A and B are shown apart, each in its own frame.
Chain A
Amino acid sequence: MGSRGMGAALALALLWAGSAQAGQVEMIREDALREGPSPTAREIGKAPKGARAEELAKSGGWRQIRSAGKTGWVRLLSAKQVGGSAGGSLAGISGNYDAKRVVAVAGLRGLSEEELKAAKFDAEQLGRLESLGVSAAEAEGFARAGGLERMRAERLPDPAKEERARAESAARSGSGGWGEETLWGN
């Protein structure tokens, strides 16, 4: 890290002064706080949705956090970094913080709506893009070289749809009783 890291750390400290403290996470769903990064590790408490905690480490699909004096592990996707977390995840853990990535730099901006609307078809560039295609065999060789192996993973359900289905079945199971009237009748 050396002086570059120090400089970056200082810049970050200045940049996020007054916002959330570096390395902070917020629980985006309730999860058990466990002793280790595993679903079978002993449960030592609950981290409710909305709770803030300090992030100490990440390992696989898990984050180690400290909250209300307790240190433990929650699922990676149960929390998200907030505010100045870049100090923790970019400078602190990866150690190769690049100011151009997160700090707003004057003059850098993206493709705008106007530019897209004014765009002219570029056949030469499209030809170049076409020429970049690789075969399935080439991609498979590339995957093998990196030690990548196919894994089984099912499509994920739409949580909003599941939520609606749950609500509907709850409403159905209450039909005939006054529960439904309370919900719908007026």
Chain B
Amino acid sequence: MGRSMRAGMAALGLGLGLGLASAPAQAGDGERLGQALGILFGQAKPQPASEAPTQGQQALASPPPQRPLTEKERRELEESQAKGNLANALLMGRMTPAQERELGRQIAGGVLGAAPLVPDFRLQSYVNRVGMWVALQSERPEVPWRFGVIESEGINAFAAPGGYILVTKGLYRLLRTESQLAGVLGHEIAHVNRRHHEKLLRKSSAIAGLSGLLAARVGGGGGGEQELRAVIGNGAEIMARGLDKDSELEADRDGSVYAARAGYEPYGLAAILEEMGHFGAGDSRMGLLKKTHPDAGARLESLSAAVGDRWEGLAGGKELSGRLVPLRD
């Protein structure tokens, strides 16, 4: 059994390698691409020094065996392992929670580099309590969720894999009730739960990423870092690409339902969408959101069609307008 499986896998590897070499333009399937990349790059398999003399320096990265690892070294090793296989795991759609978290760190850390957290602990910890409560009603309560309000007057919110969610000050300013905050955070939580960004990255990598990955490999000879950069760039730029329309509409539906399950009135997100419809076409605060999301009216119509009379039994949901922590400026 073991032998025949190995033989089968070798044959699969050969087939993939041949397919890839003869017709790279047909690599439209992320999973196949990921497997092929794993074979091409030989990740997790140290290459003999004679075959790869330029990689000699990298061998030093493994710690000497005679000394036990310090806590810091162990963590760094784990992080580098997660990062090393990250691009591959992402393209195969097989990320571990640690890898998903590392991908999210790269993206969220980049967005924070462009727009830092609002320095208001009361506000930030409030948003984390609301967000965590809403996330607990979702399909993935165990994710280490983190929420933040960032210094941007743009009206937008960002979700990164692994549970990082950032809302701009401009969007927060539109809120009137805690239920609206719950709806907005619910929408972002849904993007994480449905792995919308991972799907986008797989799709875009399948179309364009392969040549970039190969180029990075040939040019630098590095480990996972360069392959990762080829897929996600600086991380933050993923947030400028936008998801597809269906993902946004799905997140509107799921996010509203999470808020309802959390005991809020379920129309909070809809109220904010309605509010967005009031902004002038040329208002630069809506620029990025308009570029990356379907029109607010279309989102309302889709949500309306999905809800129909389904929420008539949902009585007693709360708005909690009095508890919303205001911005200081």
**Residues of chain A at the chain B interface (Cβ within 8 Å):** 28-29, 39, 60-61, 75-78, 80-86, 89, 94, 98, 100-102, 104, 108-113, 115-123, 125-126, 128-130, 132-136, 138-140, 142-143, 146-160
Contacts and interface: CB of A to CB of B under 8 A. Distances in A.
A158 B307 CA distance: 10
Given A75-B309, A98-B173, A129 B112 contact: yes
A133 B165 CA distance: 11
B277 to A, nearest CB: 7
Chain B interface residue count: which class? 35 or more
B235 interface: yes
A46 to B, nearest CB: 15
A76 B270 contact: yes
B108 interface: yes
Interface of B: 105-106, 108-117, 124-125, 128-130, 132-133, 136-137, 141, 144-148, 152-156, 164, 166, 168, 170, 173-174, 176, 178, 233-237, 239-240, 246, 249-250, 253-254, 256-257, 260-267, 270, 274-275, 277-280, 282-289, 291, 297, 300-307, 309-312, 314-318, 320, 323
Contacts of B323: 146
A60 B265 contact: yes
B132 A153 contact: no
Contacts, number: 238
B225 to A, nearest CB: 12
A155 B125 CA distance: 28
3 nearest CB pairs, A to B: A110-B154, A148-B263, A159-B305
A116 B174 CA distance: 23
B76 to A, nearest CB: 13
A46 B189 CA distance: 37
Nearest to B173: A101
15 contacts: A61-B266, A61-B314, A77-B300, A119-B111, A119-B237, A121-B113, A126-B109, A129-B108, A129-B117, A132-B147, A136-B132, A136-B136, A139-B129, A156-B307, A160-B302
